[in-house]
């Protein structure tokens, strides 16, 4: 009976858990990323054809706000900014997942006559069985990539990068739009992060997609 009680508590706690976006952030950068106070930066789509898309126009001010919070001054590409931030994003593959859980099923409880030592009253349980439930679902790899390049080197054969960052989050939401804010929050958590390392971040999420 104690085992059943602990199982019930575990189920209740799991149901009450707060949804979160779990993400891995990998970053590489040069010392120049530490000297960005009041330096200007413009945000552009990595793929030029996305520059005019409504999706990118929705994401761009959110990215600009994050860059502003870490110390940059936001500029337009036509203003010869000190740096240009090229952004790419999307869904990069999916994977089938499955999980099997089992629940104990107890037979009836009763009182009978007779025990192993002779005549008397004794209690007994019915048989114990288990039911198995298998669930399958798809998980999607959502990502945002950010490359910051010195403005004077844009368009050259060897653009000078001061930062390369990529955040990846795997989850059931099949569109980036549904989790974009949380994935972007993960990218800028402790920006610029650890150079040459991958770190894990968990961001609270309202669960909507």
Sketch the domain layout of the chain as residue ranges: 21-98+134-204
CA angle 183, 187, 189 (to 5 degrees): 110
User: Residue 155 — φ and ψ, nearest 5°?
Assistant: 90, -10
- Per-residue pLDDT, 142: 95
For the entire predicted model, the pTM comes to 0.74
- Per-residue pLDDT, 11: 40
- Per-residue pLDDT, 2: 44
Q: Is residue 94 within 8 Å of residue 145, measured between CB atoms? A: no
Task: Report the distance separating Cα 136 and Cα 100, nearest Å.
Answer: 9
CATH topology for the 21-98+134-204 domain:
Double Stranded RNA Binding Domain (3.30.160)
Pairing of strands 118-125, 128-150: unpaired
Task: Report the distance separating Cα 66 and Cα 50, nearest Å.
Answer: 20
What's the distance, CA 197 to chain centroid?
A: 17
Q: Is residue 135 within 8 Å of residue 163, measured between CB atoms? A: no
- Per-residue pLDDT, 209: 87
- Per-residue pLDDT, 72: 97
- Per-residue pLDDT, 77: 87
Question: Digits of tens for pLDDT over the chain (209 positions)?
Answer: 444 444 444 444 344 458 899 999 999 999 999 999 989 999 999 999 999 999 999 999 999 999 999 999 999 988 999 999 999 999 987 677 656 666 665 555 555 555 545 555 555 555 566 777 767 758 899 999 999 999 999 989 999 999 999 999 999 999 999 999 999 999 999 999 999 999 999 999 888 88
């Amino acid at each position: 009976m104690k085992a059943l009680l602990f199982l019930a508590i575990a189920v209740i706690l799991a149901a009450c858990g707060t949804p979160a976006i779990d993400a891995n952030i990998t970053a590489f950068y040069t010392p120049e990323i530490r000297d960005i106070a009041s330096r200007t930066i413009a945000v552009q789509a990595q793929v030029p054809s996305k520059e005019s898309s409504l999706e990118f126009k929705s994401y761009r001010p959110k990215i600009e706000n994050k860059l502003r919070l870490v110390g940059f001054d936001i500029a337009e590409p036509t203003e010869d900014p000190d740096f240009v931030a090229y952004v790419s994003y999307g869904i990069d593959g999916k994977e089938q997942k499955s999980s099997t859980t089992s629940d104990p099923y107890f037979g009836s409880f009763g009182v009978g006559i007779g025990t192993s030592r002779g005549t008397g009253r004794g209690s007994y349980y019915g048989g114990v069985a288990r039911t198995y439930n298998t669930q399958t679902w798809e998980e999607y790899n959502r990502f945002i990539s950010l490359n910051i390049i010195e403005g004077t080197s844009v368009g050259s054969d060897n653009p000078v990068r001061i930062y390369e960052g990529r955040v990846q989050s795997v989850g059931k939401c099949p569109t980036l739009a549904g989790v974009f804010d949380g994935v972007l929050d993960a990218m800028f958590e402790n920006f610029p992060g650890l150079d040459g390392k991958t770190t894990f971040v968990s961001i609270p999420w309202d669960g909507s997609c």
